[in-house]
Structures are given as structure tokens and as C-alpha cells.
Structure 1
Amino acid sequence: MKLFTKGLLLIAVPSVVELALLGMLSKTQEQTSQAAQWAAHSKQVLYQASVIADPLLRAASRVRAGLIAGDPAFIDRRTVWVDLGDRLAQLERFVGDDPLQVERVRRMREAVNAYRAQADAVYAALRSGRRIRLASVEDSPLPEPIRVFRDELDAFVDAESRLDAQRSAELSATRDEQRHALVAAIAGSMLIWAVAALGFAGNIGRRLATLTANAGRLGRAQSLGAPLAGNDELAELDAVLHRTSARLAAADQEQATLQRTLEARARELTEVNDNLRQQKQDNDMFIYSVSHDLRSPLVNLQGFSRELQVSCDELRGMLDDARLPGPERARISHVLDGNLSEALHFLRTAVSRSASIIDALLRISRAGRLEYQWQRVSVARAVARVVESLHAQISERGVVISVGELPPVWGDPTAIEQIFGNLIGNAVNYLDPARTGRIEIGALEQPPAEPGERATRMRTYYVRDNGLGIPKAYMSKMFSAFQRLHGDRTKGDGIGLALVRRVTERHGGRTWVESEEGVGSTFFVTLPEQPVRS
């Protein structure tokens, strides 16, 4: 059974009981209301009966006054009798359900009519100027009809008083019954709600305790207890906890397997890195050794080429002094000034090129072996020195250089200056002569540090130009040694960007380029803001 259904039952069962109690309370309320109406009715009848005799007594007083004064004007012939008739009619309506009381009202009306007849006779006699003496009116304290009226009225009031007392007692009893019913309804409602709530809370509480215990075991990576029975939401949630526990156990096994695999890959990667580091050192030493070994033969070749040139010059002088026949002379001159001179020129050019390559190899080798002096480096001062060293070329070509804010970095001052020297030098050398050259040097905005960040933060600098640009086909080769683009525009050995990449990597950073042919290029370099943590 779902929790929603249980909740509905928790509401429905007490509600049905409450409705029954409310029905009983409503019945007692109706009885009390009816008793109160009857009690009020009795009070109203008694009140009307208590005031109905006053008009008749006033009429008798006026008749007596008229007899004494002999003046018919004292006698009221209409108003009092209409008032009495109305009051008797109203009283008769009030007691219409009691035949005995209705009969008493009828006799009171007959007594009133009899006394009215006497009053009319007195009025007529006084009106005619006769003084009459009616014993029934003058001698008795009250005339006979009025005494009859009073007797009937007293009997009427006594009966109504008894009825009023009875109805008041019934009202009191019904009110007591109503109070008892109200107390019973409240107590019963509270009891049924308490029983239902305790039953529901006990069942749900036990299930929630089991669910909480399973959740705690899941959080502590312990095995869970038996699943909850039933098909409500708590049972479904407990089933989810059990499935989660099973998946976590499987995930732990997979994590352990992956951890072992990762450790094995880490060991392999460490071995590969060690091998690469050793191979790099071996390559640097090999390049250094080979460069030194090749320098000696090149020096000899340069010396021999100069000796040959000197010998050729001596032979040309001897040829000029000798008196040889014309054909032999022309043939020897052709050999000295043609083939031999051209061969010597190619030899000297090859030797110079080889020497340049050897020097470049030595610089690359030294870049990997040179011991850096780590310190806080002002990039702004390093860039200023580079721009000052290139002042002649910048002025000659009319280049506009803008330098933004350049925060300091952690590194070797000479190496940092070498990085920006190569980048700014390339930007100057490869500007488009068809438009004014513009070079911008700056740093990208640094994102705020994350709380508790421990990794080395890197600064990103850029050198942007509006030069010739780089075709997409050459982008992947830009940082390789001896790769020269637009080699016909400037001299160089093609290792500048290779040196930039090697020096940057030794600082723990990286370098890349974004370029569009015919628009310009932007070279980016990242360098550490603080000492590199191992």
C-alpha cells in the first residue's frame, strides 16, 4: 500500500468517526434549540398574560369615574375594547396547541364582552341625563365580569407557569446533554486521531528507522540489512539503496582494477619518461660531440680553400708573367678563372653553411644543457631590452610597436629575453612591406585563483603582428628546427622557434601560434608565475 493511500486512510477513518460524532452533536443541538424556542414561547405567553389585565382594569376605573362624576366622557367606548380584543386574539394564537388554554381565553373574551355591555349601558344612561345606580358596578370592588376574567386569567397563568417550568427543565436537560455530547465528540475525535496517528507513526517509524540504518550503512560502505517488505515509497527507496550498494561494490572492484592498471601505466610512463630523458641527454651530447668533431674539418676546409685561392692567384700572376702561346694561355686562364674559381666559391659557401648549421646545433644543445638561474624576472624589462636592440631595424622599416602590461614571471632572465628576442625579431623580419607594420606585445588576462589552489599558475603572453602570416600547411612545422618559411626575405638558420619551444618547455610552459596568411600571426607563450612545484 502506497504512503498516499495510507495517508488517505489515516484521514478517512477518523473523519468518518468525527462525522458520526458531529451528527450526534447536531441532533443534540437541534433538540436544545427546539427546547429553547419552547421556553421562550412560554416566557412570551406569560408576559402577554401578565399585561392583558391592565387595559380592562383601566376601563373599569374610567367607568367608575364616569358614574361618580356623572360624565359619560370618562368612558372609552372603542379603543380599550379593540386593544383587549387584539391581545386576547394574540394570546389565543400563542396557545392554539393547548385546547384547555384556548377555552380559558374564550371565557376571558366572554367576560370582557359582558363588562363592555355594562359599560355601554352606563354610557347610554349618563348620556341621557339619568343618574343610575348599578350595584354590580358601584358597590362591589370589581364587577362580576372582571372577577370572572381575573379568575380565568389566574388559572391561565398558573397553567402556563407550570408549562414554563417544565420547558425550562427540559431546556436545562438538553443543554446538559449537549455539553456531554460536545465533550464526547472532542474526546472521541482526539482519541481516534491519536490512535490512528500512533498506528501510522509506529508503522512508518519502524520502516524509516530501517531505511535510515541502511542509508547509514551505505554511507559507511557496509553491507545493508534485509530489504523492506511492501510496495510503498519507502520500500522503493530501500530497494534503490540496495541497488546503489550493489553498484558501488561493483564500482569499487572496477576502481581497484583501474587503479592497478593506472599504477602499471604510471610505472611504464615513468620508465618511458626516464628513457626519453636519457635519450634527450644522449642526443644533446651527441649533437655537441658531433658539432665539435665537425668543426675541426670545417676549419681545415676553410684553410685549404684559402690556400687554394692564394695558389690560384699566384698561378694567375705567373701566367701573366709567362710568355705562353695564345691557345695554352687561354686554356689555363679558363681553368683558373672558370671551373676552379667556381668550385672554390661553392666550397666556401658550403663550408659557411655547414658552420652555420653546426653553430645552430650547438645552440640547441646548450639550450637543453644550460643551467638556469631561477629568479623573479621582469618581462617588461626583458622586452624593453629586446626592442632597444632591434631599434635600427624597427626605425628602418617604420614599425609601430605597442607594449601592454607584462606581469613578472619565474624563470631564467637570459632565457626569457631569448624567447621574446626570437618572437619579436621574427615579427619584425616577416612584416608585409605593402602596409605599415604593427606589432603588439601583451599578456592575457589571468583568471582569479580558485580557493585552495595549489597547482602552479601560468601567465600567457603573446606577440601579435600584421605580417605575411603562415599558410595552414606549414602550421604544424613552425616549431621544428631548420624549417624556414619565406627564406628569401631574411637571413637565418631556422632554429629560432625551435629554441623558443625548448626554452619554454624547460620553464614548464608551452608555446603555440594562431595565424592567417596575408593577415598576420600571434605567437603565445605560457610561463610560470611562481616557482614550479615538483
Structure 2
Amino acid sequence: MKLFTKGLLLIALPSLVELALLGVVFDTQEQTAQAVQSAADSKQILYQAAALGDPLLRQAARVRTGLIVGDAAFIDRHAAWVDLSDRLMHLDQLVADTPQQAARVRTMRDAIDRYHAQALDAAQALREGRSVKTYVSLEANAMPAQIEIVRHELDAFIEEATRLDAQRSASVMQTRARQQYALIFAVVGSMLVWAVTALVFARNIARRLEVLTDNAERLGNGQPLSAPLAGNDEIAALDAALHQTSARLRIAEQEQVTLQKRLQARAAELAGVNEALRQETQDNEMFIYSVSHDLRSPLVNLQGFSKELQVSCEDVRATIDAAGLPEAEERRLTRVLDGDMRESLQFLRSSVTRSAAIIDALLRISRAGRLEYQWQRVSVGRVVARAVDALQTQIRERLAIVTVRDLPSAWGDPAAIEQVFSNLISNALNFLDPSRPGRIEVGALAAEPEDDAQAPTQPQAPTTRTFYVRDNGLGIPAAYMPKMFRAFQRLHGDVSKGDGIGLALVRRTVERHGGRVWVESAEGAGSTFFVVLPDQPVRST
């Protein structure tokens, strides 16, 4: 049985008993309310009955006075008769459930109605001037017969109402006592039922939880678990999960040992690969450096010999002019010297110049990986200012506006960081759109603390700074974006000349500083190059 079902039973059984007890309490409460209402009605009946005699006697006195003085005004008091009628009607409603009292009320009403009719006849006779001796004779006794009837019935009514009031008051006390006993019994019975059911439930659950706790401790200590609990409730399911976890942990421990051995082997293998890669990188740099130096000598020779050939061609041309050769022969020799030979020498000099530029680029790339940086706190604002001053000629030629925002400091080599921003600003100048005024902005993004395990009340200071160089130039096509930081990759070659290693040097330098560089661009709208540099000391690479 599930714990939810057991809990429902724990609630349902005492609740059913409580409902039965509450039924008894509500029944006694209803009886008490009825008894209290009956007692209140009895008090109201007595009050109304007691208040009926005086108005009736006053009205009888007015009738007698009117007959004696012969003034019908004393008799015609309609409001008094209406008040008596209302009181009787109210009293009749109050005793509607008591036939004997209701009969007395009707008798009193009939007597008062007859007396009222007699008084109206006497008043009419007085107004008409007729004799009222008959009416006076009716009032000769101490009290008219109808009034005597009312008084007799009223006395009997009050006596019976008093008896009923005492009886109902006693009933109220009895029902209230029963109500108190029923309430005490309901409270005590409910507490006993809850206590018994909770005790039974708790003992069963406590025993199973004890076994579950013991198995959890055994699992935490790596000890074998006791036998699984029987049943299909949540505790049994948890115990089964503990047993499954224990089995999986044993399997995981075995797999961990195997995995650790594999990781150690892979770590050793990776260390060897890293060492081989480092050695290969060093060898490649040395190779590039050596090849670049070795290629310089042949290029110098080629350049020297091309100049010698140019001088020799000029000597041959002077000799031809002085030799006085036939016109056809002179024309043919001149065409060879001024055409083919000059074009060949020009192509040779261009190729030598291009090769020299490539060798210089290779040497710069090689040196960028071997330079020893002078690590220090660098004022990036001053570095960028020097780079902008050095590029003033190019800026004026391009009619560009360069804006430098407030730039925070960074950690690195001043010369290397200056070269980074110089290359980026020069690159932006080279690829401005000639059809609109060029604008270049150098700034920094707001510093954001790195996410770590520190408490929110102690934020970690930012360890990097992100700078940007933004322009409104030609932009970069999406297909060309992955090639931007490769060496000898040139875009818009018809707009700007260059050897295509500026951005490669920027990437190499920034990565040696422990940062990164990337670009965001839209073709025709401009480009933004982002550079992340460290804000604290880093180990030189």
C-alpha cells in the first residue's frame, strides 16, 4: 500500500469518527438553539400578555368617562383599539404552536371585539343625541362583562405562559448540559482516535524508515546493505533504489579504475604529443627563419644581376647606335632590347620585390612567435594614441575621422599591444569605402566579472578587458569570415595593397597574451574587430 493511501486512511478513519461526533454535537446544538428560542418566545409572550391589560383598562375607563360626560370623543380613540388589535394578533402568532393558549387569545379577541362594537354604538348614540341609558347600565358594574372575560382569560393565559416558560428554561439548561457533554466527548474521542491511528501509522513507518536510514548509512560508508524491504510503498521503492545505487556504484568503481588507467595512458600520450608539437612548432619557426635568411642571398644576387643586365642592355644599345648598322638590323635589335629584354627585366625585378616581401612577412611571423615579451601594466590609451599618431599621413590621405574612447589598462607587452592596434587601425583605413566619409572608432566594452564559485556578496574582479576597433568601411563577405586571420589572405586586393599577414600577426600576438580576437561584419556596412586582453599578470608563452 502506498504511503499516500496510508495517509488517506490515517485521515479518513478519524475523520469519519469526527463526523459522527460532530453530528451529535450539531444535533445537541440544534436542540439547544430550539430550546433557547422557545424560552425567548416564552419571555416575549409573557411580556406581550402583561402589556395587554393596562391598555384595555385605560380604554374601558375612557368609554365609561365618555358615557358619563356625554362626549363621544372619549370613546372614539381608534389608535387605541388598533393597538389592542395588533397586540392580540402578535400574541396569537407567538402561541400558534400552543392550541390551548391560542384558544384563550381568540376568546380575548372576541370579547374585545364585542366590547369595541358596543363602545362604537354608544359613541354613535351620543353623536346622534339618542339615549345611552342602555349602555350606561352595561357599565354599571365595577367592570364590563367583556372586560371581565378578557381579564379572566388573560390571567389564565399568563399563568399557563409562566408555567411553559419555567419548563422551557429548564429544557434550555438540560440541552446546554447535553451539548457540553457531547462537545467534551467529541473532543476527547477525536483526540483518542487520532492518537491511536497516528501511533499505529508512526510505528509502522518508523520501523521501515529505520531500515531505510541504516541502508543509506551503509551505502555512504561503502558497506553491504541489509535485505530489501517488503511492500510496494515509497519507502520500499527508495530502499530498492538504494540497492540499485549500491550495485551501480560497485560497477562504477570498477569502471572508474579502468577509466583512470586509460586516462593516465592518454595523459602520458597527450604529454608526448604536446612535447612533439612544441618541438615541431619550434622546428617550423626555426625552419622558416633559416629558409628566410637563406633565400635573402639569392634574391640579393638576382636583384644585383638584374641591374647589371639593365646596364649591359644600355651599353649594347649605345653600341648599336654607334655602329651604323643597316636600318632593318638596327630596328630588329632595338625591338629586342627595348621590348623583350626590358619587359623581362621588369618582371624579374617585380618578382624579386614580391619574394622579398614574402620573406619579410615570414620573418615577422617567425619573430612574433619567438619574441620575449616585457610583461607590465600597459596604458592602452597611450598605446593607441601612438599608433594613431604614426598613421596620421594615411588618415589624412583617406580623409578619415578616428575617434578614441576611454580605454582601460591591460596586462601585456607595450610594443606588441601597440602593433596589434596599429595593424587593426591600418587595416580599417585600407578598407574604408571611398564613396562615404570614413569613420573609425576605438573603444572598450564594459567590464563583466567572470562567473565563479564566490558568494554573491563578494564579486570577482574582471580578469579580462574587451577592446574593439569599429569602422564603416567595405565590410567582409560572410564566406570570407573564416579566412580573416590566416596568413597571406587578402580581400579587396584592388582597393588596398599588402602582404596579407597583418591580421595573422594580430591573432598570434593576442593569443600569446592569453586573449582572443574575432570580427563581426556586414558587407557594405563596416566591420568591428574585438580584442580580449588580460587584466592581470599572466605567464609568458
What's the % identity of the aligned pairs?
Answer: 65
The CA deviation string for residues 401-459 of structure 1, in whole angstroms up to 9 with x for no partner, is 22223222111111111111111101101111111111122222332233557999332
Amino acid at match of 1:346: F
Residue aligned with 2:229, SS: coil
1:351 aligned residue: 352
Judge conservation of contact 1:456–1:532 (CA < 8 Å) in 2. no
Amino acid at match of 1:512: W
Q: In the superposition, relative to structure 1, how do residues 199 and 477 fare at CA in structure 2: closer, same or farther (>3 Å)?
A: closer
Moved more, 506-515 or 333-342: 333-342
Whether 1:329 and 2:335 are equivalent positions in the alignment is: no
1:396 aligned residue: 397
Trace 1:468-483 onto structure 2 (pairs within 5 A): 468-483=474-489
Trace 1:96-135 onto structure 2 (pairs within 5 A): none
Q: In the superposition, relative to structure 1, how do residues 516 and 183 fare at CA in structure 2: closer, same or farther (>3 Å)?
A: closer
2:378 aligned residue: 377
Q: In the superposition, relative to structure 1, how do residues 8 and 480 fare at CA in structure 2: closer, same or farther (>3 Å)?
A: closer
Task: Determine the C-alpha separation between the residues in 1 that align with 2:162 and 2:465.
Answer: 108
Q: In the superposition, relative to structure 1, how do residues 222 and 314 fare at CA in structure 2: closer, same or farther (>3 Å)?
A: same
2:111 aligned residue: none
Q: CA deviation at 1:282?
A: 0.7
Task: Determine the C-alpha separation between the residues in 1 that align with 2:218 and 2:377.
Answer: 53
Q: In the superposition, relative to structure 1, how do residues 247 and 320 fare at CA in structure 2: closer, same or farther (>3 Å)?
A: same
Task: Determine the C-alpha separation between the residues in 2 that align with 1:490 and 1:16.
Answer: 94
The CA deviation string for residues 356-392 of structure 1, in whole angstroms up to 9 with x for no partner, is 1111111111111111111111211111111111111
Amino acid at match of 1:517: E
1:409 aligned residue: 410
Counterpart of 1:494 (choices 497, 500, 506) is 500
2:425 aligned residue: 424
Judge conservation of contact 1:456–1:528 (CA < 8 Å) in 2. no
Q: CA deviation at 1:193?
A: 4.3
Residue aligned with 1:460, SS: strand
Trace 1:13-412 onto structure 2 (pairs within 5 A): 191-220=192-221, 222-254=223-255, 257-412=258-413
Task: Determine the C-alpha separation between the residues in 2 that align with 1:427 and 1:374.
Answer: 28
Residue aligned with 2:476, SS: coil
Task: Determine the C-alpha separation between the residues in 2 that align with 1:369 and 1:379.
Answer: 23
Amino acid at match of 2:280: Q
2:448 aligned residue: 447
1:138 aligned residue: none
State the Cα RMSD in Å: 4.4
Amino acid at match of 2:502: G
Task: Determine the C-alpha separation between the residues in 1 that align with 2:333 and 2:174.
Answer: 161
Moved more, 461-470 or 362-371: 461-470
Counterpart of 1:530 (choices 533, 536, 540) is 536
The CA deviation string for residues 454-482 of structure 1, in whole angstroms up to 9 with x for no partner, is 99933222222121222233222222222
Q: CA deviation at 1:393?
A: 1.5
Q: CA deviation at 1:511?
A: 2.0
1:515 aligned residue: 521
Moved more, 294-303 or 427-436: 294-303
Residue aligned with 2:450, SS: coil
Q: In the superposition, relative to structure 1, how do residues 214 and 28 fare at CA in structure 2: closer, same or farther (>3 Å)?
A: same
Amino acid at match of 1:485: L
Q: From the CA coordinates, give the structure whose radius of gyration is larger.
A: 1
Residue aligned with 1:461, SS: strand
Residue aligned with 2:354, SS: helix
Q: CA deviation at 1:211?
A: 2.6
Q: In the superposition, relative to structure 1, how do residues 94 and 410 fare at CA in structure 2: closer, same or farther (>3 Å)?
A: closer
Q: In the superposition, relative to structure 1, how do residues 239 and 333 fare at CA in structure 2: closer, same or farther (>3 Å)?
A: same
Amino acid at match of 1:207: R
Q: In the superposition, relative to structure 1, how do residues 346 and 6 fare at CA in structure 2: closer, same or farther (>3 Å)?
A: closer
The CA deviation string for residues 470-512 of structure 1, in whole angstroms up to 9 with x for no partner, is 2233222222222222223233212111111111221122222
Judge conservation of contact 2:448–2:462 (CA < 8 Å) in 1. no
Q: CA deviation at 1:262?
A: 4.2
Judge conservation of contact 1:456–1:533 (CA < 8 Å) in 2. no
Amino acid at match of 1:531: P
Q: CA deviation at 1:328?
A: 3.9
Structure 1 unaligned runs (5+)? 33-74, 96-167
Moved more, 416-425 or 490-499: 490-499
Task: Determine the C-alpha separation between the residues in 2 that align with 1:430 and 1:26.
Answer: 94
Amino acid at match of 1:463: V
1:2 aligned residue: 2
TM-score, structure 1 normalization? 0.66
Moved more, 248-257 or 291-300: 248-257
Judge conservation of contact 2:475–2:526 (CA < 8 Å) in 1. yes
Residue aligned with 2:227, SS: coil
Q: CA deviation at 1:247?
A: 4.5
Amino acid at match of 1:276: L
Residue aligned with 2:479, SS: helix
Moved more, 85-94 or 490-499: 85-94
Amino acid at match of 2:515: G
Amino acid at match of 1:450: D
Q: CA deviation at 1:92?
A: 10
Task: Determine the C-alpha separation between the residues in 1 that align with 2:322 and 2:343.
Answer: 24
Q: In the superposition, relative to structure 1, how do residues 302 and 2 fare at CA in structure 2: closer, same or farther (>3 Å)?
A: closer
Task: Determine the C-alpha separation between the residues in 2 that align with 1:325 and 1:27.
Answer: 150
Structure 2 unaligned runs (5+)? 33-141, 164-169, 455-459
Q: In the superposition, relative to structure 1, how do residues 77 and 2 fare at CA in structure 2: closer, same or farther (>3 Å)?
A: same
Amino acid at match of 1:520: G
Residue aligned with 1:487, SS: coil
Task: Determine the C-alpha separation between the residues in 2 that align with 1:177 and 1:349.
Answer: 124
Amino acid at match of 2:525: V
Task: Determine the C-alpha separation between the residues in 1 that align with 2:475 and 2:524.
Answer: 5
Q: In the superposition, relative to structure 1, how do residues 220 and 86 fare at CA in structure 2: closer, same or farther (>3 Å)?
A: same
Amino acid at match of 1:289: S
Task: Determine the C-alpha separation between the residues in 1 that align with 2:216 and 2:532.
Answer: 48
Q: CA deviation at 1:215?
A: 3.6
Task: Determine the C-alpha separation between the residues in 2 that align with 1:472 and 1:177.
Answer: 93
Residue aligned with 1:342, SS: helix
Residue aligned with 2:442, SS: strand
Counterpart of 2:511 (choices 505, 515, 527) is 505
Counterpart of 1:457 (choices 459, 463, 477) is 463
Residue aligned with 1:494, SS: coil
Task: Determine the C-alpha separation between the residues in 1 that align with 2:313 and 2:284.
Answer: 42
